[in-house]
Structure 1
Amino acid sequence: MKRINLRKYYPYYSHDIWVFVSDEVAEDMDDALREVWAQNAKIRYHKAYYSLDRDDGIEKAALYPPLSPEELLMHKLNRTTLYSALLELPGKQANRLYARYFLHLTAAEIARQEGVKPNTVVQSLKRALKNLKKLL
């Protein structure tokens, strides 16, 4: 009989749990733990941090459960409120906010497109966020 700590085998345990198991069970648990470590080492070595999901949505459905109707309605209302507030901003500020936060462009990219200095875009974005905060 061996005394083992289950926390070693189950890392989500928050505290130590000691149990007595037969020698065969202890060996099997150690083998399983070594297999997990070996698999993790292979993943790190080959940089295989991606999923093998076949785009059939199984993994996404497991990781991100669908939103409830109430949550969908709240998201829609929040988007509607945000878009209506964006429409109340001056044109350049609204365009720059949209480009920065929806299109994920940097201030330098926006400045290059508009033919202005990046500092001008940064200051405009700050004013736009301040105005948006007042509106919301």
Structure 2
Amino acid sequence: MRTFLYPGASGHCVQRPAVVPRPPFRSVPFRPVSKWRLHMTTIKLNNYYPHLTECVTLEVSEEIAVTLSIGGRMCDSYKRRKRDHDECSLDGTPGFEADVTYPPLTPEEIMELAEDHAALYAALDRLPPVQARRVYAHYILGRSKTGIARAENVTENAVRDSISRGMEKLKILLGNLR
């Protein structure tokens, strides 16, 4: 039989069966745990959000406090591993690692990226089909030159030469656009 803890008359917790008999009809709904209070913990949000400028305290349940502390410990262990294995970023802002945080792109940067992608694909369209396919597979899809050669049943040198000639033509085509 399941049991629950309820506040007793003296304020201490009393173990009672899960089935609580309902009292006779009342106009107010019956709430058997109305005096029961969850254990709350006060936390400082500045410990979890370092970008906050003012001290903010918040009262949360113990479960949330434990979850936040686990996340903090995971972050500390990540920083410790980075330090112990001599991994650091010199171009990051203090308190943040450059490989973890990426600032959002500005609308101008988004437009420039879209224009660059459009120019790149337009230049790829102007290449011969074999060169375009091989350059696309190697640089955009990330396939190896050996894998491309095996897939097309040609020698690896033929793929290397084709890709290098395609890159030279792309350099000329994209150089004319700028």
Quote the offset at 1:115 in angstroms: 0.3
Q: Work out the percentage of aligned pairs sharing the same amino acid.
A: 40
> 1:1-136 counterparts in 2 under 5 A?
43=81, 63-136=101-174
**Aligned residues between the structures:** 86
TM-score (normalised: structure 2): 0.43
Quote the offset at 1:65 in angstroms: 1.2
TM-score (normalised: structure 1): 0.56
- Tell me how far apart the structure 2 counterparts of residues 130 and 101 of structure 1 sit (CA, whole Å): 14
- Tell me how far apart the structure 2 counterparts of residues 74 and 89 of structure 1 sit (CA, whole Å): 23
Report the equivalent of 1:25: none
Larger gyration radius, structure 1 or structure 2? 2
Moved runs in structure 1, 4+ residues, more than 4 A?
none
Structure number with greater CO (CA < 8 Å, separation at least 6) is: 1
Quote the offset at 1:86 in angstroms: 0.3
Bigger helix share: 1
Segments of 5+ residues of structure 1 without an aligned counterpart are 1-38, 50-58
Segments of 5+ residues of structure 2 without an aligned counterpart are 1-76, 88-96
- Tell me how far apart the structure 1 counterparts of residues 166 and 81 of structure 2 sit (CA, whole Å): 45
Quote the offset at 1:85 in angstroms: 0.3
Bigger strand share: 2
RMSD (Å) for aligned C-alpha atoms: 2.9
